[in-house]
Amino acid sequence: MPKMRAYTAEPQPVTAAADADAADADHPQAAAAGAEAAATAAKPKAPRKKKVIVEVTERDPTPRRPTPGFPGPRYFKALSWNVNGLRGTLRNAPEALSALAARERPDLLCLQETKLQEMHVADFAALLPGYDAHWSCSTKKKGYSGTVVFTAKPPAETARAAAENGSRKQAKLTAFFGKSASDAVAAAAKDDVAPEAGPIVTGGSAPKVVGVRHGIGADADHGGEGRAITIEYEKFFVVCLYVPNSGQSLERLEYRTTSWDPALRAFVAALEAEGKPVIVTGDLNVAHLDLDIYNAGAPHLKKQAGCTPAERASFDAWVNPAAAEAAPGAPHVRDAFRHLYPAARGCYTYWSARKAGRDTNKGLRLDYFLCTPSLLPKEGQPSAEAAPAELPDSSESSSDTVPIVHDVFHDDITTVGLSDHCPVGLILRLPVVS
């Protein structure tokens, strides 16, 4: 289990008897007050309050690696975030996404649990002017599930889109959220934010999107809930997912482990067979290792969705390198975060809002970047405490013809209060362009 840091909060009462002893005999009024206090002190005391102990789960450092600017390597940045309802997130903080895009400048931003209907998609057309939006909404149930992927436009299109869409953004979003949010929406629609929301790529243009796919195959049983969008780039695929939750009573556990999981693995293997490496990201609704669970070993976890032995074993069979050696013909991926930080503790991406888990870092790691093995550095395994300069150089462990993972990170600070999940990110070092 991760280390716990305990704080004791206990009031230190000053007794009436002590007040009486401190009274100055040369001051009759003070002495009288002291005598009265002493008499009060003789009465039975109320039960002493119990100590309040607050335990905080410690988090090991996982410092972000710098990305050298032009004329250095070119990079691709992807972010994934379960917003737990896009409408609610933007109502509470209309600038949340534009600020995230301005700060991180991702080439791809994947959101889960948008909970929107297809009829609402048009209202968000101007949400991020520098990006194309690819939506997948649930048609089986309203206000449920749903994903969207924003892909960065080329720099020239980004500037033009910001100019064209800036004036429309406030009108559409204000109409959607109502007049009460008009001031906040106006702040989110400022022109000085939109131009910053461009691609992070240095020394070249944004990677070109060559295709978009929905779902995880032809099986209709896995469609209709808006859970999967795949973006095809020239050199790799990115599969953006909101994996089904097994349910509070585990009513979907069997479907999750015996139907969805095998279908997803087969889908990713088919993509890789097309000759490109694959990145899988999103809320995968499983805490793989004990390191990914703040209270690992608690008896109730066996019946908690995302922590059941069946879910964890199913996931392990897909991502564990030992499983790949035991079954070399089966499809396998790697957990990019654990590849870089195999022993990091307290690094969670989800905290229960009902239990105020984020304040004490009592959480789970449910959000991932998984990669086919060819995308990962081959040399060196940094410790959880490694500084950025001590991490293996991605340029030394890859060739100039394939992308390679440069960094994986959790943004668990800037989005506090906006969702019960935090954004996670991955940066690829792109091949040299001849």
Binding residue ranges for Mg(2+): 82, 113, 283, 285, 420-421
DSSP string computed for 23-56: S-TT-HHHHHHHHHHHHHHTSPPPPPPPPEEEEE
Q: Cα(29)–Cα(189) distance, rounded to whole angstroms? A: 66
Residue type, 113: E
Helix (H, G, I), strand (E, B) or coil at 174: helix
Burial class of residue 17, CB neighbours in 10 A (0-12, 13-18, 19+): middle
Q: Do residues 266 and 219 make contact, with C-beta atoms less than 8 angstroms apart?
A: no
Q: Identify the DSSP state of 293.
A: B
Q: Check if 407 is active-site.
A: no
Q: Cα(105)–Cα(86) distance, rounded to whole angstroms? A: 19
Q: Identify the DSSP state of 121.
A: G
For 390, list phi and psi in degrees, rounded to 5: -90, -10
> Terminal CA-to-CA distance of the chain, rounded, Å?
48
Lookup result for tokens 């109320």: 46
CA 191 to each of CA 19, 81, 82, 256, 299: distance values in angstroms, whole numbers, following the listed order = 63, 24, 26, 44, 53
Q: Do residues 149 and 231 make contact, with C-beta atoms less than 8 angstroms apart?
A: yes
Catalytic residue among 107, 283, 292, 335: 283
Q: Identify the DSSP state of 12.
A: -
Residues 185, 187, 189, 194: is their CA dihedral positive or negative?
A: negative
Q: Check if 242 is active-site.
A: yes
270's enclosing H/E stretch is helix 261-273
Residues 6 or more apart whose CB falls under 8 angstroms from that of 47 comprise none
Catalytic residue among 75, 131, 233, 242: 242
What are the helix (H) ranges across 274-335?
309-319, 321-326
Residue type, 34: G
CA contacts within 13 A on the Cβ side of 230: 21
Q: Check if 421 is active-site.
A: yes
Tokens, residue 322: 């030992």
CB environment 215-242: b (16+ within 10 A), e (fewer): bbeeeeebbebbbbbbbbbebbbbbbbb
Residues 6 or more apart whose CB falls under 8 angstroms from that of 40 comprise 16
Please give the positions annotated as active site.
Answer: 242, 283, 421
